[in-house]
Structure 1
Amino acid sequence: MTSDTTRRIRLPLLAALPFALALAAYAAVLATWWGRLPDPVATHFSGVDGRADGWTPRTGVAAIGAVLLCAAGVAWTVFARRRVLAGAWATAGFLGVLLVLMLRDNLDAADAQVVTSPLVNLAVAAGAAGLAALVGWAASRLVPEEARPAAEDGEPYEQLPLGPGEVAGWSRDTGSGVLAALSAVTLLAGLVALVLAPWPVALIPLLVGVPGLALARVRVTADRRGLTVAPALAGRPRIRVPLDDVEGASVRDVDPVADFGGWGYRVRAHRTGVVLRAGEALVVRRAGGREFAVTVADARTAAALLNTLVARREGR
């Protein structure tokens, strides 16, 4: 089995594993303590004393906890990369421990109205996240490093014919329905958790869902400033490769999983990219040898325009 195949198999498995373990532990604790929990369960707390100010039926607590862990697990698996695998484990550790501590605070309570949740729970959950992150870091050693892409210096870069004083620009929108759906589900889970669960629990899906939804549809622009990729609706934040940093541009077919480990904004050892679908991608080789890729239709026109602008810059 090649290192690329090993990486493609192990990375998503190791990203999903901590959430599967957290979900199994949460389900086991719920099954064990089910008869000792009040109905409804205190699920939201505020103030220095951590007094309950929000309640959820026991069945809702089971469902919401499972949805949170599953949504966060799917998001981390989709966006997994070797260097941040520890983040997936830390997230699972934090969420799992915080959910279990919430159940413990409710245990044997005659009235959920008087349940309190001490702030030390957050410190305990953070400590568990740190320990889980160490496990994730160790697990990342099992994923082979990505090989540096071979240089294509022998291939001439195609150019777009322009007159001496002629100016041109190119722009096109591109998007991913799958990424939009996953991000919307994650964001919805975060909004539900914001109302029904301790607020730190809601931060994780919100921090994943908002940028994911922003990247679900982007506008790619090639002009005299270089290459710019920005959310189609908001315009910010944006990724820009200045023309002075461009050595050349080409077109390449991209497999999101095989080449970048998933969809969205991806970071690899010697390349970065905005990968929203399989197929045609505009690939820019930067001055330091790194590459930036974005999957977009009509990439050949954009590449030819950038190559022409680079040639003008160099007086060719």
Structure 2
Amino acid sequence: MNRATPRLRALAALPFVLALAVHLLLFARWRYELPAELATHFSVGGEADGWTGRTAYAVISTALFLGLAAGWTAFVRRRYLWAAWATAGFAGGLLVQLLRANHVDEFEVQVFSPGMDLGVALAVAAVAGGAGWALGSLVPEEPQAPSTGMTADGPRLPLGSGETARWSKDTGSRTLTVLAVLALAAAPVTLLVVTWPDALLGLLGLVIGVPGLALARVRVTVDRHGLTVRSALASRPRVRVPLDGVEGASVREIDAVTDFGGWGYRVRAHRTGVVLRSGEALVVRRDGGREFAVTVPDARIAAALLNTLAERHGKV
């Protein structure tokens, strides 16, 4: 579950509200000194080569701040509050520099200095991040996730001394499949339609689509080798937890967004997971206390078998 307190959420939203307020105040103050079409895209040398109307610019920039605020407010943790402030500082600093570049006389050329302006934005981000880190002391420590079912009395599957067993099940996500296919379809279209060097953005579709499609459907297996989670389409990518690395296994109801921040292969503090949906998940406690989770139906049978095999191996 999401353990963010109202105070933490408020502190996460605050820097974006402040950055938006400063940005809109400057925009209002300079409104009649800004061109009707603001330069919003610049070449490598810093000269303007793309423009946006004033009203559209105000709407888009406001939506950007509100979207970032909503995301950080929903998923923030106490230890990452500084990152929310740094993100707001960087976005605010960059957009203020963009306004400054457009605040020129009619005879001046609009120029964005990539090195200097990005440096200013990074400096603002560093200061804001420091403020967020300091404000983290106002938020109480987050409670640790419960460890129900992760002890030696976890579920077991009764097997005779000479018996062995293997459990395997495929599970997938329609949402991830659709998104991956769309990303892969968009890549060649972008490469054909958009001019160089912006066509490089088309490669982003491949970066997102290929691993997304590989993890959209996985096969979960428990056998004498331990737990294996791999793509149902190929032998790689693959995650394996050997029996000698299993401290215990249990079943837990998880929420994909609040517990892991989304879908796919997820990495959070002290835990990782292959998360394709919300609901029942097999959770394995590994050496060192770290957890690995995979959302899969009939997870209780998998946990019981894994505990039995690990016990035979001398771990549980």
Both structures adopt the same fold (TM-score exceeding 0.5): yes
Q: CA deviation at 1:130?
A: 0.4
The residue that corresponds to 1:43 in the other structure is: 40
The residue that corresponds to 1:158 in the other structure is: 156
Aligned partners of 1:282 and 1:295 also within 8 Å: yes
Aligned partners of 2:221 and 2:229 also within 8 Å: no
Q: Give the distance between the partners of 1:315 and 1:21, measured in 2 at CA.
A: 53
The residue that corresponds to 1:107 in the other structure is: 103
Instruction: Name the structure, 1 or 2, with higher relative contact order (CA <8 Å, separation 6+).
Output: 1
Q: Give the distance between the partners of 1:304 and 1:16, measured in 2 at CA.
A: 43
SS in 2 for 1:116: coil
- 1:77-226 to 2 correspondence within 5 Å? 77-110=73-106, 114-118=109-113, 119-141=115-137, 142-147=139-144, 149-150=146-147, 152=149, 153=151, 155-159=153-157, 161=159, 164=162, 168-175=166-173, 214=212, 217=216, 219=218, 221-224=220-223, 225-226=225-226
- Say yes or no: does 1:267 pair with 2:268: yes
Q: CA deviation at 1:29?
A: 2.2
Could you tell me which amino acid in structure 2 is paired with residue 11 of structure 1? L
Q: Give the distance between the partners of 1:296 and 1:104, measured in 2 at CA.
A: 52
List gaps (5 residues or longer) in structure 1: none
SS in 2 for 1:88: helix
Q: Give the distance between the partners of 1:176 and 1:137, measured in 2 at CA.
A: 39
- Is the alpha carbon distance of 1:219 and 1:26 closer, same or farther for their aligned partners in structure 2, counting shifts above 3 Å? farther
Could you tell me which amino acid in structure 2 is paired with residue 253 of structure 1? E
- Structure whose CA Rg is larger: 2
SS in 2 for 1:285: strand
SS in 2 for 1:288: helix
Aligned partners of 1:109 and 1:115 also within 8 Å: no
Q: Give the distance between the partners of 1:300 and 1:111, measured in 2 at CA.
A: 72
The residue that corresponds to 2:71 in the other structure is: 75
Aligned partners of 2:155 and 2:300 also within 8 Å: no
- Is the alpha carbon distance of 1:238 and 1:129 closer, same or farther for their aligned partners in structure 2, counting shifts above 3 Å? farther
Q: Give the distance between the partners of 1:295 and 1:16, measured in 2 at CA.
A: 31
Cα deviation, 1:164-216, whole Å, max 9, x if unaligned, reads 575524233244959x99xx9xxx9xx9xxx9xxx9xx9xxx8xx959x9499
Q: Give the distance between the partners of 1:76 and 1:241, measured in 2 at CA.
A: 32
Cα deviation, 1:71-106, whole Å, max 9, x if unaligned, reads 333333343222222112111110111011101110
Aligned partners of 1:249 and 1:282 also within 8 Å: yes
Q: CA deviation at 1:256?
A: 6.2
Aligned partners of 1:80 and 1:262 also within 8 Å: no
- Say yes or no: does 1:61 pair with 2:60: no
The residue that corresponds to 2:23 in the other structure is: 26
List gaps (5 residues or longer) in structure 2: none
Identical aligned residues as a percent? 45
Aligned partners of 2:101 and 2:111 also within 8 Å: yes
Cα deviation, 1:230-274, whole Å, max 9, x if unaligned, reads 67789876654343211221112335688x385453624x54545
- Is the alpha carbon distance of 1:94 and 1:315 closer, same or farther for their aligned partners in structure 2, counting shifts above 3 Å? closer
The residue that corresponds to 1:11 in the other structure is: 8
Q: Give the distance between the partners of 2:219 and 2:303, measured in 1 at CA.
A: 12
Aligned partners of 1:160 and 1:301 also within 8 Å: no
Q: TM-score normalized by structure 1?
A: 0.72
- Is the alpha carbon distance of 1:210 and 1:160 closer, same or farther for their aligned partners in structure 2, counting shifts above 3 Å? farther
- Is the alpha carbon distance of 1:231 and 1:70 closer, same or farther for their aligned partners in structure 2, counting shifts above 3 Å? farther
Aligned partners of 1:79 and 1:263 also within 8 Å: no
Q: Give the distance between the partners of 2:106 and 2:158, measured in 1 at CA.
A: 76
